[in-house]
Amino acid sequence: KRQFIEKNIKVVPSKIIVSGPINILDTLTQIPTILSNFENLSNSISQEIPLKSFKYLTYSTNKVFVTINIEKFTESSIDIPVILINKPDNISIQLNPKKIKLKFYVGLSNFKHVNRAQFRVVADYNEIIKNNTNKLSVVIKEFPAYVFNLNCNPLTVNYIKRSKK
């Protein structure tokens, strides 16, 4: 199985000058390229791609230079404590398990930067009230932008509820 991800895409130029009727220019926000297919890349590439032409419009350039940087990625996992949110002060809740395992993919260039402080996993006390349930769903609230395909195990946690005296 190939394990490569797009690390970043650079388009040069990123902006061009477009001339044409004002009623078209007023609504113009982008100019697409001609469709290009880049499948199963295992190495970075640079390629010139023509811009799609439109009737009544002229461009300062008719093509862009696209660079797609590729890198290998790996699967990793980390144990994260589940934080209970929206709990009233007069209630004591014990979650079981207290931690869940997060699995995710990360590019090799960012692998060493991953740490627990970048993740936030919560269970919401309000779910007990709304759904009268004996399990709480686990929700991933925060994670670094460079990780992807996150999965948590388990997806729910049990709880023991006690009133404080």
List of residues 6+ apart from 21 with CB closer than 8 A: 56
pLDDT-derived band at 5 (thresholds 50, 70, 90) equals low
Domains belonging to the chain, first-starting first, are 4-71 (2.170.120), 72-163 (2.170.120.30)
pLDDT-derived band at 95 (thresholds 50, 70, 90) equals very high
Strand partners, 95: 159
Q: What is the arrangement of strands in the sheet containing 156-163, beginning at the earlier edge strand?
A: 91-96, 156-163, 135-137
Residue 40 zone, left/alpha/beta (φ > 0; ψ -120 to 50; rest)? left
The dihedral formed by the CA atoms of 113, 115, 117 and 122, expressed in degrees to the nearest 10 = 130
Give the model's pLDDT for residue 9. Answer: 86
The amino acid at 49: I
Measured CA to CA, the distance from residue 94 to residue 115 in angstroms comes to 25
- pTM exceeding 0.75: no
Is the pLDDT at 163 greater than 80, yes or no?
no
Is the pLDDT at 3 greater than 90, yes or no?
no
**What tokens were used for 17?**
């000058």
When pLDDT is averaged across residues 143-159 and rounded to a whole number, the result is 94
The amino acid at 154: P
**For 35-84, what is each residue's pLDDT tens digit?**
988 777 778 889 999 999 999 999 999 999 999 888 888 899 999 999 99
